[in-house]
Structure 1
Amino acid sequence: MTSTMTSAIASTGLTKRFGSATVVDGLDLAVPTGSVYGFLGPNGSGKTTTIRMLLGLVLPSSGTHQLLGHDFASSGAMSLERVGALVEGPAFHPYLSGRANLARLDAADRTASARTATARIGEALDRVGLAAAARKRYRAYSLGMRQRLGIAAALLRPRDLLVLDEPTNGLDPQGTREVRALIDELSRGGTTVFLSSHLLSEIEHLCTEVGVMSVGRLVWQGSMAELRGRQRPVVRVDTGQPEAAERVLAEHDVGDLRRSDGAVHGTAGAALQPERLVAALVAAGVGVRGFRVEAPSLEEQFVGLTGEGFDVSG
């Protein structure tokens, strides 16, 4: 099994079948301790089922996994004491206030001290920006406020691992920025964050590691830097002389040449030197109206791995 000395989450062959349908197929996760791990995948790829198995909400059909160094099958309860989670949206008592809902959850935690409950609940509410709405009934909360309360519930105790399923769902731009800042703060404090999100910008800005799911399988896993480096940059030359430009580009380690919208595009090779290429184009008499070298976007990388566009309902 993947070493648990450096993994907050490690799984081997984790599989879930519902009847004859295999929803998660042989998953080998390795989530480094202290990382912010982005979990991506289109609709129906098995992300939420995976999260539910990791937390013991659904039993796997086969395979094993560990949380925070503990084998889940034999000592899952021990590891869950150090795990906070928000899965598939929060659910609370509608006629209780936000503070009262957190108090009920906190009282159900056998390891939590009653003496510090008030202070911990107040701190959790403050961290997610709900201190002013603490006495308001949950049924009067907006979707974004409900999402914040769910995150507050996950933060009632210090956590070594935080599992968040679409944490910014329903939040306005300001709320989204605040949650991102909170995740960054938790990560810098040593908490490992496992983040499932449909927002590619969120994954790109927050995450240090990425796992990509497609049809129940983990098709790629590694650091964000490795993901960005999977594909070569694209060279674009805006010119009215595409044939001459193509000849020069081909001589300077640019391949897969194609034309569109008054420009020539190509894939940069490892030896490409943009400054020399521009000089060569000018020396060859090619009129260069524009030149740029662009790294493939995260969306392009995602499509390359899964063969489909990103679906926000995943």
Structure 2
Amino acid sequence: MSRTPTDAGLAVDVPGSRGGDPGGGARGEAPGAELSIVTSGLTKRFGSGQVAVDALDLAVPSGSVFGFLGPNGSGKTTTIRMLLGLVAPTAGEWRLLGAPMPGGVGGVLSRVGALVEGPAFYPYLSGEANLRRYDAADPSADPRTVSARIGLALERVGLAAAAGKRYRAYSLGMRQRLAIAATLLGPRELLILDEPTNGLDPQGTREVRGLVKEIAAEGTTVFVSSHLLAEVEQMCSHVAVMRAGRLVAQGPIADLRASETVRIRVETPDVEEAAAVLAGLGLPEIRLGDGDVSAALGAGLPERVCAALVTGGVAVRGLAVQRPTLEDVFVGLTGEGFDVDG
């Protein structure tokens, strides 16, 4: 595991391939990579020693869409509250956009947009009127540009045509879009979204997912907390996985997937014969099923496997390369899964 020094003396572990304890490692960015969020040993205990977040070391690359993943109750929201200075940590240090916190909160939070635990708006006011109240609560906002900034924020989230509609008439997807618009009333370098697709139907989920990708494409770092593995997998470039307050793994999703085995599965009535061909090719971990056989593909080429099966007289009904999903990675790390659908 390497150490990334910072200008204020905070040295942060940039984890290696895997790990959830302070001495372990999870795949991370190379030393010196620019980080929008970095924590070292961040810990929160409540009451009689209940540990909500345990020695968390995060490294969030600038410009990434970073999924902060874990089941409900794993410490995600508590971590976000600590990052934003809403809850004081029991131990540890952290930085946002290069500034040590909580001392730098005054200069940093105007560059950070945050949505924590769902939107809260006045139901009888329009979307635009609600945003005006949000903007008025920001001491750094320029009242002379409020109309232009609100118009731009609504345009970015696709709500310009519904600006005058009352909030109570908004769909769930529109409400989440308005909440994100509230985080975009000024220039933001970092967006922190806590469960932005929570409670949404499939259409609303797709809307928010597309919006997050658009915002990230403009150069904003987006930190997305979620308990939905499949959603994070479609939206994010990097991920950190939490379990019971501890970090299980973090890094680029592609790298985490690469830590799990790619398999090839053959549907055939000639199971024994197919297994013999796969063994002859040197493929390990051969598993026979009812009408199918699979093996670890490794560096083997699927077309070579297919040609060998046909040459060997095996009747091939189907052939598929099974690449590991984020759920496979999580199960491989912890030996168990969690709610992947909500």
- Tell me if TM exceeds 0.5: yes
Of residues 146, 150, 161, the one that matches 1:117 is: 146
SS in 2 for 1:278: helix
Q: What residue identity is the alignment partner of 2:304?
A: R
* 1:7 pairs with one of 7, 28, 35: 35
Structure 2 counterparts to residues 272-287 of structure 1, below 5 A: 272-287=300-315
Moved more, 156-165 or 95-104: 95-104
SS at match of 2:267: strand
The 1-side partners of 2:106 and 2:32 are apart by: 17
What is the alpha-carbon distance in structure 1 between the residues aligned to residue 341 and residue 266 of structure 2? Answer: 37
Question: Within 2, Cα distance between the matches of 1:143 and 1:182?
Answer: 14
Equivalent pairs: percent with the same residue?
63
Q: Distance in 2 between matches of 1:191 and 1:298?
A: 24
Query: Any idea what SS the aligned residue of 2:286 has?
Result: strand
CA–CA distance in 1 between the matches of 2:199 and 2:338?
Answer: 19
Given candidates 154, 174, 178, the residue that maps to 2:183 is 154
Q: Secondary structure at 1:44's aligned position in 2? A: coil
Distance 1:250 1:156 in 2: 61
Q: Is the Cα contact below 8 Å between 1:128 and 1:178 reproduced in 2?
A: no
1:226 matched to which residue of 2? 255
Count of residue correspondences: 313
In structure 2, the residue matched to 1:305 is 333
- Rounded Cα–Cα distance in structure 1 between residues aligned with 2:131 and 2:183: 10
Match of 2:52 in 1: 23
Residue 192 of structure 1 corresponds to 221
Residues 212, 222 of structure 2: 8 Å contact kept: yes
- Unaligned ranges ≥5, structure 2: 1-10, 13-30
1:103 maps to 2:132: yes
Aligned-pair CA distance for 1:206: 2.2
Q: How many Å separate the matches in 1 of 2:121 and 2:32?
A: 34
Q: CA deviation at 1:312?
A: 5.7
Structure 1 segment 183-262 matched on structure 2, within 5 A = 183-262=212-291
Q: CA deviation at 1:225?
A: 1.3
* Shift in CA distance, 257/81, structure 1 to aligned 2, threshold 3 Å: same
Query: SS where residue 88 of structure 2 aligns?
Result: coil
Name the CA distance, whole Å, in 2 between partners of 1:138 and 1:97: 5
SS state at 2:251 partner: strand
Note the C-alpha offset of 1:170. 4.0
Task: Give the aligned residue type for 1:298.
Answer: L
Structure 1 residue identity aligned to 2:220: T
How has the CA–CA distance of structure 1 residues 313 and 225 changed in structure 2, closer, same or farther, with 3 Å as cutoff?
closer
SS of corresponding position for 1:248: helix
Secondary structure in structure 1 of the residue aligned to 2:82: helix
Q: Distance in 1 between matches of 2:331 and 2:138?
A: 43
**Offset at 1:212?**
0.8
**1:32 to partner: Cα distance:** 0.2
Q: TM-score, normalised by structure 1?
A: 0.91
Q: Which runs of 5+ in 1 are unaligned?
A: none
Deviations 1:35-61 (A, max 9, x none): 110111122211111111111111111
- What residue in structure 1 maps to residue 68 of structure 2? 39
Cα shift readout 1:175-209 (whole Å, capped 9, x = no counterpart): 43333332222212210000112343432222111
Quote the Cα distance in structure 2 between the aligned partners of 1:220 and 1:162. 22
Tell me how far 1:69 sits from its aligned partner. 0.1
| Residues in 1 aligned to 2:123 and 2:94: alpha-carbon distance in whole angstroms | 35
Secondary structure at 2:224 match in 1: strand
Contact 1:4/1:68, CA 8 A, preserved across alignment:
no
Query: What letter corresponds to residue 266 of structure 2 in structure 1?
Result: V
Distance 1:263 1:67 in 2: 51
**C-alpha distance in structure 2 between counterparts of 1:94 and 1:282, whole Å:** 65
Which stretch of the first structure deviates more once superposed, 26-35 or 131-140?
A: 131-140
CA distance in 1: counterparts of 2:77 and 2:32, whole angstroms: 23
Structure 1 residue 166: Cα displacement: 1.9
Aligned-partner Cα distance in 2 for 1:178–1:313: 17
Question: How far is the alpha carbon of 1:140 from its aligned partner?
Answer: 4.3
